[in-house]
Amino acid sequence: MTVQDAGRRGMLRFGVSGAGPMDPDAMRMANALVGNPADAATLEFAFFGGAIRFGDDRMVAVCGAVRDLRIGGNPVAPWQSHLVRAGQEVTIGAMAEAVWGYVAIGGGIGTQPVLGARSTHLRTGIGGIEGRTLQAGDMLPLGGAEPMPMRKLGAPWRVRSGAIHVVPGPQDDRFGATAVTVFLRGPFTVTQKRDRMAMVLDGPRIHAEMGHDIVSDGTLPGSIQVPGSGQPLVLLSDRQTTGGYPKIATIASVDLPRLAQMVSSRPFRFTAISQSRAEDMLIAHRDSFSRALAEVETAR
């Protein structure tokens, strides 16, 4: 479990990757449910939550496909906020058919910002608590919060299904037409080699005709690098900011969280779209997410 907010901006040119949530929508929704600004610092966990004891009364929302969520031993629903009393414990079990979950607490996590953000970047050791994964016994400072009613979603949380959209490039021309065809035919699965930096994919091997070394250049969340092994590597928020492997495609912003959330056994395919189409999808997605935020309502 790590502290994550919206992440750092403007320092890629100095080698500082953005960090930030693997599933930004889930993080922002969790914040909205407890009355925080959308980009307030939350707790992000992978596969399994843990237990959090509260020192004062707080609104709490857990967003993610958790199987078992309890407050003071009583089962409660994710995707809505609950009032947790001082001394009570929130216990978060395993994820069902998903990877990343978020705990938002009214007032937000109040750890010291580093380089403009509270997000933890494990590799650099900055942000959150001493730049590391949270340990049992850690005390987390919280921001101030006003009393507010419990909230829930206006409509069920839906995630699209189907192929993962990619925009070919920037170095697809180094691979040749055959390799691109093989890449788009797939199918792939996400291997167990996955963390906040990158995910290694398993599937057909992809061979770059012009070789697997390029003069290093900038990387993005969603860049699909292919090293000499032929196994594609999807870069994520904590990635190295530059890389020397050719990038066959970049995952569309709307589908990157969906791929990050994909469990390791499930096969999927990529489908190629133009940059302009991917922009359209992103703009439409922002609109529908804004509506979902606006539809958050008081729970009875």
Q: Which residues contact 137 (CB under 8 A, 6 or more apart)?
A: none
Amino acid identity, residue 270? Answer: F
Among 90, 179, 278, 296, contact with other proteins (rule: CB under 8 A)? 278
Distance (Å, whole) CA 92 – CA 52: 9
What is the number of alpha carbons within 13 Å of residue 240 lying toward its C-beta?
8
Q: Is 56 in the site for other proteins (CB under 8 A)?
A: no
Smaller CB separation from other proteins, 5 or 88: 5
Stretch of residues binding other proteins (CB under 8 A), selected from 54-62, 64-72, 167-175, 227-235 = 167-175
Q: Among 63, 120, 118, which Cα is nearest to 92's? A: 63
Stretch of residues binding other proteins (CB under 8 A), selected from 21-29, 65-73, 88-96, 122-130 = 122-130
Q: H/E element holding 249?
A: strand 247-251
Q: Is 259 in the site for other proteins (CB under 8 A)?
A: no
> For 224-260, b where at least 16 C-beta lie within 10 A, e where not — what string?
bbbbeeebbbbbbbbbebebebbbbbbbbbbbbbbbb
Give CA separation, 263 vs 163, 189, 219, 250, 274, in Å.
15, 8, 24, 20, 27
Stretch of residues binding other proteins (CB under 8 A), selected from 74-82, 136-144, 200-208, 237-245 = 237-245
Q: Among 50, 30, 49, which Cα is nearest to 39's? A: 30
Among 132, 150, 241, 293, contact with other proteins (rule: CB under 8 A)? 241
Among 55, 218, 228, 267, contact with other proteins (rule: CB under 8 A)? 218
Q: Is 128 in the site for other proteins (CB under 8 A)?
A: no
Stretch of residues binding other proteins (CB under 8 A), selected from 20-28, 197-205, 276-284, 291-299 = 276-284
Q: Is 291 in the site for other proteins (CB under 8 A)?
A: no
Q: How far is the CB of 172 from other proteins (least distance, A)?
A: 9
Q: Is 289 in the site for other proteins (CB under 8 A)?
A: no
Among 28, 82, 247, 258, contact with other proteins (rule: CB under 8 A)? 247
Two structure tokens written together for 67: 């199987």
Q: Is 115 in the site for other proteins (CB under 8 A)?
A: yes
Among 30, 66, 190, 252, contact with other proteins (rule: CB under 8 A)? 252
Amino acid identity, residue 130? Answer: E
Q: Are strands 270-272 and 164-168 parallel, antiparallel or unpaired?
A: parallel
Residues between 197 and 216 with contacts to other proteins, criterion CB under 8 A = 215-216
Amino acid identity, residue 291? Answer: R
Stretch of residues binding other proteins (CB under 8 A), selected from 65-73, 86-94, 188-196, 235-243 = 235-243
Q: Is 275 in the site for other proteins (CB under 8 A)?
A: yes
Contact 101, 50 (CB under 8 A): no
Among 76, 110, 123, 204, contact with other proteins (rule: CB under 8 A)? 123
Q: How far is the CB of 286 from other proteins (least distance, A)?
A: 7
**DSSP alpha helix (H) spans, the chain:** 24-33, 177-185, 256-260, 275-294
Contacting positions for other proteins (CB under 8 A): 9-16, 114-115, 123-126, 167-171, 215-218, 220, 222-223, 240-242, 247, 250-253, 274-276, 278-279, 281-283, 286
